[in-house]
Chains A and B, each alone.
Chain A
Amino acid sequence: MRDAIAAARRETPAVALVTTKFSPQGDFVARSAGMPDIPRVILPHPVAGTGEKAMKMVADDIVDEVLQALGAAG
Chain B
Amino acid sequence: MSQRLSALSEEAALEQLHAAGCTDGLPVVIPTPARVERMVLASGLDADVSLGQLGPNLGEATVEKAAIASVMAGCLPDYFPAVVAAVRAVSDPRMDMTEVQATTHNLGPLLIVNGPAVDACGIASGFGALGPGHRANASIGRAVRLAMINIGGGRPGTSDMALLGHPGKFTFCLGEDEEASPWPPLHTSLGYDIDQSTVTVACTEGPHSVLCFPDDDPEVYAEHLLNVLAASLSGLGANNTHFARGTQVLVLNPDHAIALADVGHDRTTIAEALHERAKRSWSELSTVRARGSGINRHQRSQGEDPDLVVPALSSPDALLILVAGGTGLYSAVMPSWGAGPHGNGHLTVEVDLDQSCEIPLVMPVQ
Contacts and interface: CB of A to CB of B under 8 A. Distances in A.
A33 B159 CA distance: 13
Contacts of A32: 56-58, 153
B325 to A, nearest CB: 36
Contact of A24 (B56, B153, B158, B293): B158
B58 A25 contact: no
A24 B98 CA distance: 15
Interface string A11-34: 000000000001011001100110
A9 interface: no
B290 A49 contact: yes
B57 A24 contact: no
Given A32-B56, A32-B57, A25 B290 contact: no
A51 to B, nearest CB: 7
A33 B58 contact: yes
B102 interface: yes
Contact of B56 (A29, A49, A51): A29
B293 A25 contact: no
- Interface size class on chain B is 10 to 19
Interface string A28-54: 110011000000000000000101100
Interface size class of A (residues with CB under 8 A): 10 to 19
A32 B55 CA distance: 9
Nearest to B58: A32
B364 interface: no
B153 A28 contact: yes
A22 B102 CA distance: 9
Nearest to B98: A2
B273 interface: no
B308 to A, nearest CB: 21
A52 B293 CA distance: 11
Nearest to A21: B161
A35 to B, nearest CB: 12
Contacts of B159: 25, 28-29
Contact of B158 (A28, A33, A49, A51): A28
Interface in B260-315: 290, 292-293
B289 to A, nearest CB: 9
B157 interface: yes
Nearest to A46: B104
A2 B157 CA distance: 18
A29 B57 CA distance: 7
Contacts of A52: 292
Contacts of A29: 56, 98, 102, 159
B56 A28 contact: yes
Contacts of B158: 24-25, 28
Contacts of B56: 25, 28-29, 32
Interface of B: 56-58, 98, 102, 153, 157-159, 161, 290, 292-293
27 contacts: A2-B98, A22-B161, A24-B157, A24-B158, A25-B56, A25-B102, A25-B158, A25-B159, A25-B161, A28-B56, A28-B57, A28-B153, A28-B158, A28-B159, A29-B56, A29-B98, A29-B102, A29-B159, A32-B56, A32-B57, A32-B58, A32-B153, A33-B58, A49-B290, A49-B293, A51-B290, A52-B292
